[in-house]
Amino acid sequence: MKVVGLVILIGWALFWVYWLLAAFGVKSGTGAWRRGAIIRVVILVVALLLLRARAFRDLGLNRNPWLEGIGLALFVLGLALAVWARVHLGRNWGMPMTHKADPELVTTGPYRTVRHPIYSGILLAVIGTGVAVSVYWLVLAVLLGGYFVYSAVMEERYLAERFPDTYPEYKRSTKMLIPFVL
């Protein structure tokens, strides 16, 4: 395994360990795992089938040091954005589409420019992994992108109902996933 691939593997491992540990102490919520379960199962099945078919073995591996560097930079920026957003969200964080007890509308920090910066950061990190390591990661980026857009739309419906006076203006003044674009 190349050094860049090893750095990215360690980065993902540390990210997910942090993510699991940070889940302790958040506000209680409902609806976290049932809604969208079919989409999560499809993503998992596709990933397992690709692994089983050895789709990630040598084919599509990046051997260009410039692309490795660009991909590594995107990876680091993506994880940094996701962690910054998670820290800024604090106890309001939950699994996608969770309805929190006593929710707060967070519109500061990374949420000033993007309504779903955790999704944006994870997508950027997956794209960076694809650029640095293997184009097959871009398949995962497409699947996650679809899931994150679906989750964002569902969450925004809930937030619009929960915060009818403030959420519509916040939604008009920010983008969903990509600052100034989408």
User: For residue range 21-69, what is the model confidence (pLDDT) as tens digits?
Assistant: 877 776 555 554 444 555 556 666 766 666 666 555 555 667 788 999 9
Residues linked to residue 61 through DSSP beta bridges, in sequence order: 134
pLDDT of residue 173: 93
Query: What letter does residue 98 receive in the DSSP assignment?
Result: -
41 against 19, higher pLDDT: 19
Amino acid sitting at position 30: T
CA atoms of 73 and 142, how far apart (whole Å): 20
Query: What letter does residue 99 receive in the DSSP assignment?
Result: E
Which of 4-8, 31-35, 111-115, 143-147 is predicted with the least confidence, judged by mean pLDDT?
A: 31-35
CA atoms of 164 and 26, how far apart (whole Å): 24
56 against 97, higher pLDDT: 97
Instruction: Tell me what percent of the residues of the chain surpass a pLDDT of 70.
Output: 74
For the chain, which domains are there? 40-173 (1.20.120.1630)
Phi, psi (rounded to 5 degrees) for 179: -50, 135
137 against 120, higher pLDDT: 120
Helices 3-22 & 65-89 angle (0-180, nearest 10)? 10
pLDDT of residue 65: 87
Task: Report yes or no: 163 and 107 within 8 Å, Cβ to Cβ.
Answer: no
Task: Report yes or no: 35 and 105 within 8 Å, Cβ to Cβ.
Answer: no
CA 44 → CA 1, 10, 115, 123, distances in Å?
24, 21, 26, 16
Q: Write out the two tokens for 106.
A: 């967070």
- What's the predicted TM-score (pTM) here? 0.81
Q: Is the pLDDT of residue 110 over 90?
A: yes
